[in-house]
Amino acid sequence: MTNTTESHPLQPFLPEGARLLMLGSFPPKRERWSMDFFYPNWINDMWRIWGYIFFGDKHYFEVTGEKRFDRERIVSFCLEHGIALYDTACEVRRLRDNASDKFLEVVHPTDIKALLDSLPHCQAIVTTGEKATDTLVEQFACTKPTVGEYVEVEYNSRKLHFWRMPSSSRAYPLSLERKAERYERMLREERLK
């Protein structure tokens, strides 16, 4: 176990008018990044899931012939569809030298309510893994949703849906297509697709 902590390397991506706040736990180490944005690990399937849902092409957000995602295309997509992104931890300690949530200790959780203050149109919060879900449950003192479902949370007289989605990590035992089905159902219920 290391005593070294890491601060989040990215600023929250909070587009004006965003209606969905998507929260992971924390980015992998920089050497695992294929771009300078959220879900940067080439072997993470988040952007393949979104490509599959919206364009019928899991490779839509990939740069052809390279092992990296097209950051500009992803940013444009998120702006167009009102998707805000950040993570539930601002500072972590890695208990092992990898990106697994299981070996991630949250030293300083993100103030999710402060993010929501910047997102007055946000109607849904999505967590994309177990660690992110647990951190959010603590902040809202709410029931933990089952995977693919939501619970209602209230903040500043706003009722929001808190969705717990399957992890986009390939370690999560569900095919990309099955994960996409669950994400698409959430998007349809939130009228975002």
Neighbour tally for 62: CB within 10 Å: 19
Confirm whether 174 is domain-assigned. yes
For residue 16, give the amino acid letter. E
CATH code of the domain covering residue 90? 3.40.470.10
Instruction: Flag whether 123 is in a domain.
Output: yes
> How many Cβ atoms from other residues are within 10 Å of residue 157's Cβ?
5
**pLDDT above 60 for 175:** yes
pLDDT of residue 173: 83
Q: For residue 149, what pLDDT is reported?
A: 97
Single out the residue of 163, 168, 83 nearest to residue 127, CA to CA. 163
Residue at 110 is within a domain: yes
Q: At what angle do helices 71-81 and 46-55 cross, to 10 degrees?
A: 60
pLDDT band at 129 (very low <50, low <70, confident <90, very high): confident
If pLDDT is split at 50, 70 and 90, which confidence band does 139 have?
very high
Q: Looking at the domain assignment, is residue 40 inside a domain?
A: no
- Average pLDDT in the 128-149 region? 94
Q: Contact at 8 Å (CB) between 147 and 182?
A: yes
On whether residue 59 sits in a domain, the answer given is: no
What's the pLDDT at 1?
A: 52
Count of domains observed in the chain: 1
Q: Is residue 61 included in any domain, yes or no?
A: no
Mean pLDDT of 161-177: 92
CB 41 within 8 A of CB 101: no
Contact (CB, 8 A) for 79 and 15: yes
Render pLDDT for 21-43 as a digit per residue (tens, 0 to 9). Answer: 999 999 988 999 999 999 999 99
Torsion of CA 142, 112, 50, 104, to 10 degrees: -80
Using 50, 70 and 90 to split pLDDT, how confident is the model at 69? Answer: very high
Closest-CA residue to 120 (of 144, 146, 91, 84): 84
pLDDT band at 102 (very low <50, low <70, confident <90, very high): confident
pLDDT above 90: residue 99: no
What is the residue range of 145's domain?
A: 6-32+82-189
Residue 161 included in any domain: yes
Residue 62 covered by a domain: no
